[in-house]
Structures are given as C-alpha cells and as structure tokens.
Amino acid sequence: MANLSPVRQAAIIPPKIRMIRGTMGAVQEYAALLDASEEQWVRLQGPRQPDIWGGPIAARFRADPRREMDDNFLAVASYVTPDDVFIDAGGGAGRIGLPMALRCKEVINVDPSPGMVEEFHACAQESSITNVRGIVADWTDDHGAVGDVVYAANVTYFVRDIDVFVKKLEAAARRRVIIAIWSAPNPSHNATLFKMVYGEEQATVPGYPELLPALWEMGILPDVQFFPHPWSFDGAPEEPGYPQDRESAMEGALAGIWLAAQDRDRAETVINQHFDELYQETDKGFVPTWLPNALPVLITWDVRYHGIGAAKA
C-alpha cells in the first residue's frame, strides 16, 4: 500500500474534492476536472495551437545527460537494471531519459510534441548517446513501445481518460510503472499570475489527491514516496537558482504554457505593476513569492503483483 505518513494521509483529499466524492467515480471525477480546465482554456485563450510544447519551450526542458544526478533521479534509477529497456512516456527533451540511457540497455521516448522529440535527438547526438529512440506519438496511440520499466513524469495532469492512459502504461511495462508528479500540479504553479491576468481562478487540474483514488478504483495498489527536495537538472546538490535581475524575473513569470501568446503584452503590464508583490529581492536574487511550496511525488507499482492484472488474478 501507499507509504503515507498520517499527516500526508489527512491532507490527501482536499475539502472541495471530498464534497463531490460519491457523486461519481474517481476516474469520472478526474475527467471532469480536465473538462473544466479545457473549457476555461478555450474560453479565455482560444483553441490550443499545434505543438504548444515545441520551439523555445522545448529547449527549456533540456539538461546535460552527464550531469551529477540528484537523489530524486537516483531513486528512479534504483528501479532500473543495466539490461532494462526504459520507456519514457512523454519524455520531452530527455532530462530523465537520456541520463537513464547511460545506465540501461535502451531508452525509448514516446512524446506527442515534434519539438520535444527534436530536442531529445539533438541532445542525445551532442552527448554521443546512441541507445535511444524518439517516437512522435500520443501515449494512447499505437506506438508499439514495450519495455521493462515505463516512466511518466508530469504528464498525468493533462490526461483526461486516465484509465485508458494507465492501462497503456501497464500494457507496455514488463515489470514496473513509475509516475512522477508534484504535490502541487505543475499547471497550477502559476495560478496567482493566471488570476491577475485573466481575472478568475485557474481551473484545478488533477494531482495526486485525484490520481491515487483513480488508481485504487482500477485495482492498482502503488507505493507512494514524497521527496524532500525538488528535482535538480543542473547538477546536485545545489541551492535553488533565482533570477538575478528584474528583467530575468519578468521573463520567468511570463514563461510557460499558462499564458497565451496573444496575451503576453497585457500580462507583462499586469505583472510589472504587481512586481513587488510577486518577488522578494534578496542577496540570492529575486525570489518568487507566488510559487507554491511543491515537492516531488513518486507513485510506482510492480505490474506483476500490484497492477490491474494482478488485482483480477
């Protein structure tokens, strides 16, 4: 069962989720949150553009595959053996997959963003890593990737049909599935900025309080770990890096998919007006006060003993 402290267990289901629990199943509730988020996106920002993760955003997700690895990476790597094929579902530019390729037989990155897969291949080539493949495909498509360990980091926030997605994870895994998320979902990290710019609360996307009940409803009994420190992609250990000037701080606030391109000028004006509320200037740089205190969460199970098939056996 999940390795949760009493404090974590008490906090696992927020009040607003408990209020609607019982009116529908956990998988249905999960989908309802994504439907509400998508409705808000289209209403405020218009239809989604193709490959929103490509271009400059994809480049931001690169990291040196030969960097010194942090404890979080090592925790994931502890499940991987040198003979394993490691599948990275939504692996992006390869921040985890490429260094994992130095430790296992092969890494296959299945990502729907052509821009991300392009960065993945470029980074692999620059680092002389040849035992990798990148496949441009949605995970629920017929991509054909099969491996020993299947890993999905920061993907489940965007998956409406979580049962279909997880079943595909299990079908591709000979031994283990690993899902990595944050205690506060990534898309919600900019909720304060979102409200300032768009004038309403950002719709909630599913996090671990919604994902775990959905997994339990499917008959999956995962282990859950809360890591004490954020991921580090610039070498470990290190102190958090903060913008060193106002311009860099502004760029950091305006980055990411929370903001539509057509709203950037308006957002820049709003954030500039509220800058002193949003950042605290310290000797370490401009510290964002609007970011939540989020920690990494690792959800994992051995498909042979604790997965869907095992529950039915």
Contact 158, 89 (CB under 8 A): no
At 77 the pLDDT is 98
What lies within 8 Å, CB to CB, of 269 at 6+ separation is: none
In the chain, what is the straight-line distance between the N-terminal and C-terminal CA atoms, in Å? 18
Name the more confident of 18 and 153: 153
Give SS3 for 136. Answer: strand
What lies within 8 Å, CB to CB, of 98 at 6+ separation is: 65, 107, 120, 123, 124, 127, 129, 132
User: With b meaning 16 or more CB within 10 Å and e meaning fewer, what string describes 186-209?
Assistant: bbbbbbbbbebbbeeebbbbbbbe
The secondary element (H helix, E strand) that includes residue 25 is none
- Which residue in this structure is represented by tokens 């409406």? 160
pTM of the predicted protein model: 0.88
Domain range summary for the chain, segments of one domain joined by +? 6-189+200-233+295-312
- Tens of pLDDT, residues 178-218: 999 999 999 999 999 999 999 999 999 999 999 999 999 99
Highest mean pLDDT among 11-25, 42-56, 169-183, 228-242: 169-183
The Cα 213–Cα 118 span in angstroms is 35
The Cα 198–Cα 219 span in angstroms is 40
At 22 the pLDDT is 54
At 2 the pLDDT is 41
| Strand intervals (E) in 145-295 | 147-153, 173-182, 223-226, 279-282, 285-288
Please tell me the CATH superfamily of domain 6-189+200-233+295-312, with its number.
Answer: Vaccinia Virus protein VP39 (3.40.50.150)
Q: Phi and psi (nearest 5°) for 153?
A: -110, 125
At 4 the pLDDT is 41
At 24 the pLDDT is 78
Q: What band does 7 get if pLDDT is binned at 50, 70 and 90?
A: very low
At 61 the pLDDT is 85
At 118 the pLDDT is 95
Mean pLDDT across 253-278: 94
- Tens of pLDDT, residues 52-77: 777 888 888 899 999 999 999 999 99
At 58 the pLDDT is 83
Q: Report which of 113, 136, 114, 132 is spatially closest to residue 123, judged by C-alpha positions.
A: 132
In this model, does residue 232 exceed pLDDT 60?
yes
- Tens of pLDDT, residues 239-256: 667 999 999 999 999 988
Mean pLDDT across 270-290: 95
At 67 the pLDDT is 93
- Tens of pLDDT, residues 137-189: 999 999 999 999 999 999 999 999 999 999 999 999 999 999 999 999 999 99
Name the more confident of 38 and 55: 38
Q: Phi and psi (nearest 5°) for 102?
A: -75, -5
In this model, does residue 16 exceed pLDDT 60?
no
The Cα 290–Cα 54 span in angstroms is 26
What lies within 8 Å, CB to CB, of 15 at 6+ separation is: none
